[in-house]
Amino acid sequence: EVILDSIRADTQITTGRMLNMMRAVSGYGTIQTMLFLPNDSMFAVSFADSAHNSAEKTPTWYGWNDLFPNHEEGIAEDNSQQHQGRVFLYSDLLEFSKRKEVEIFDILGRKLEQYSIQKISSGIYFMVSEKRVYKLMVIKK
């Protein structure tokens, strides 16, 4: 909730700001810190040593293909729905009338314009409707 509120309040979030937020929350005893950037298919990880906690150290970045060079395409999900070449994964059934206003934000907190929703790229998004936040993962074929 706190991170979602922070992302919605400041749409100019950067990787550096995300790392600073992790450092602020981590305290002095954090053994491992991980940052996931799904739109870039990358994540960063750092580990504590005897002198520093993990959030104080410069993370090592990995691309998805570095870890899984021969992975196959596709995802299996019980509640998935195929629609025009995209797969929408959801944990709850989401039904909205055409008149209901919905705002969609990317993982960096940037609001998507209405005209770009049809051209949405693969990634994790937050959909806000009537003060409720839904998490949405979109995967293109």
Going across the sheet that includes 32-37, the strands are 32-37, 42-47, 60-63
Same domain membership, residue 89 and residue 50: no
- Report yes or no on 123 lying in a domain: yes
Please list, in sequence order, all residues whose beta carbon lies within 8 angstroms of the beta carbon of residue 8, skipping any fewer than 6 positions away.
105, 109, 126, 128
Q: How many domains does the chain have?
A: 2
Contact 109, 124 (CB under 8 A): no
Which residues span the domain enclosing 36? 2-67
Residue type, 47: F
Same domain membership, residue 115 and residue 58: no
Same domain membership, residue 88 and residue 52: no
Same domain membership, residue 10 and residue 44: yes
Predicted model pTM: 0.35
Query: How far apart are the C-alpha atoms of 137 and 24, rounded to whole Å?
Result: 27
Same domain membership, residue 84 and residue 62: no
pLDDT at residue 39 is higher than 60: yes
- Report yes or no on 32 lying in a domain: yes
Per-residue model confidence as pLDDT tens digits over 64-112: 777 767 765 544 444 444 445 444 444 454 555 566 677 888 877 888 8
